[in-house]
Amino acid sequence: MRKGAFATGVYRNIFAEMGYDEQEVEKRKEEIFHTLFYGNEEERIYHPVGSDMGYIEDTGNHDVRTEGMSYGMMMCVQMDKREEFDRLWNWAKTYMYMEDGENAGYFAWSCRTDGSKNAHGAAPDGEEFFAMALFFASHRWGNRKGIYHYSREAQEILHACIHKGENGEEGRAMWDTQNYLIRFVTDVDFSDPSYHLPHFYELFGLWAEENDRLFFKKAAAASRAYLKSACHPVTGLCAEYAEFDGTPYESDGKMWGGRHDWYYSDAYRTVANIALDYQWFAADEWEKQEAENVQKFFCETLDEKDRDGVYLTDGTVLKEKALHPTAVISVNAQASLAAGGKNAVSCVQAFWNTPLRTGDRRYYDNCLYFFAFLALSGNYRIY
C-alpha cells in the first residue's frame, strides 16, 4: 500500500516529474500569489484594510465569504505570509464571528466589504478551512496572545462545529453527529460533496480538543465512504449537493439559488480534495480510480466543444455553460496527484498553459487555480 506525505514527508512535484524547470515553477508560484494579493484591480482578490486587517473579495458577488477568507488564510500559511494571514483572520473575527443568536460561535458566511453582515447563517466549508489554516499557522509560526493563539482558536471552532445544540443550547451542529457527515448548512440534513475533506479530519483527529479527536477520526472514514456513493462510478462526477446516501439533491429550483443536482461550481472541488487526500494519506486506492475517471470523462468521453459545459453526474451534457471554466481545468490537473497515465499528463499540460482568469468571475477560478498549482508543485503541505 502506498504511503502518503503525512507518513513519508515527501510531497510529489508533478511539474518536476514532467520536466518543467523548477526555477520557473517557483517563479510562477510567487507571481500567482502576488497577482492575487497585490495585482491591479482586474487581478487581485485581496484588499488590506487599515493597519491590521484585510479581506478576500468574491469578485463575482462583490461580497466577502468565509469560503474566500479561509481560502486566503490557507494560501498565506502555505506561502509563509504571516502578515496577510493575520490581517485576514483579524477581519474575520472582527466582522464575521457571531457572538449571539442561534449561530453563536460560528462565522457569518457572507458580509459586505465594509464588514456588515449579509446573513447570519454559517457555511461549514469556511469553518473547516479556518480551523485547518489556524492549526498550520500554529505549527509554522507559533501561537501568540488573543485571537492569534491559533491552535486554541482552531479547537474552539471545531468544538462548536460538533457540539452546537447540545444540552438545550440554541442552534445545530455542522456535522450530523450520528453519521459523522458534514451538512451543507446547519439547518438541513443533506450534504455538499465538495465540503468533505477527510485529509483535514485526519489531522483534526490529532489536534482538536482531546475529547473531540475520535469524532474527527470517524468523520474521516465516513467522508471517504460517502464520496464513493456521491461520485458516479463511471464518470467520477458528483452533484453540487447530495443527500446523505450520496444521491444528488433535487430541489424545487427556488431554494439555495436554483438547481444543484448537477456537476457545477461547488462540485468541481470534490476531485481536487480527493486527490489531495491521496497525496497526504493515500488511505484508499479508490481515490486513484476516481481521479482517473474524471480525467477520462473530460479527455476521452466529451467532445471538445462540450468541455466548458454543465453535466449530470452520469455525464449527460446540458445546455448550460460552466460559470467557472478555469476552475474545471485546475481541478482536473490537481487530480493528477492521484491519477496516472496519458490523461494525467495532458490535464497538467492544459493547466500549465492556462493563465489566471481576469474580470468579475476570477475569484473562485483563481482560488482553485492557486491551490492546484501549490499541490502540483509539492507546496500544499501539512504543517
Residue that has been written with the C-alpha cell 497525496 in this structure: 279
Q: Is 83 a catalytic residue?
A: no
pLDDT at res. 256: 75
Which of the four pLDDT bands, split at 50, 70 and 90, describes residue 235?
Answer: very high
pLDDT at res. 297: 98
Contacting residues for 3 by C-beta, under 8 A, at least 6 apart: 282
Beta-carbon count within 10 A of 260 CB? 23
pLDDT at res. 254: 72
Q: Is 266 a catalytic residue?
A: yes
* pTM assigned to the model: 0.98
Count CA atoms closer than 13 A to 241's CA, side-chain side: 17
Percent of the chain whose predicted confidence (pLDDT) is above 90: 97
Determine which one of 86, 128, 266, 284 is catalytic: 266
Task: Tell me, rounded to whole angstroms, the distance of Cα 380 from its chain centroid.
Answer: 12
Please return the burial class of 240, using the count of CB atoms within 10 Å of its CB with bins 0-12, 13-18 and 19+: buried
Determine which one of 43, 57, 58, 67 is catalytic: 67
> What would the pLDDT profile of 207-233 be if each residue is shown by its tens digit?
999 999 999 999 999 999 999 999 999
**Mean pLDDT over the full length of the chain:** 97
Specify the long-range contacts of residues 220-223, CB closer than 8 Å, at least 24 apart: 220/283, 221/180, 222/179, 222/180, 222/181, 223/180, 223/181, 223/182, 223/196, 223/197, 223/198
> What would the pLDDT profile of 321-342 be if each residue is shown by its tens digit?
999 999 999 999 999 999 999 9
Q: What domains can you pick out in the chain, each with its CATH number? A: 12-44+232-383 (1.50.10.10)
Mean pLDDT of all residues in 295-301: 98
> What would the pLDDT profile of 236-264 be if each residue is shown by its tens digit?
999 999 999 999 999 877 777 789 999 99
Beta-carbon count within 10 A of 7 CB? 11
> What would the pLDDT profile of 306-325 be if each residue is shown by its tens digit?
999 999 999 999 999 999 99
pLDDT at res. 257: 76
Helices H / strands E in the chain, number of each: 14, 8
* Side chain identity at residue 328, one-letter code: V
End-to-end CA distance of the chain: give it in Å, rounded. Answer: 24
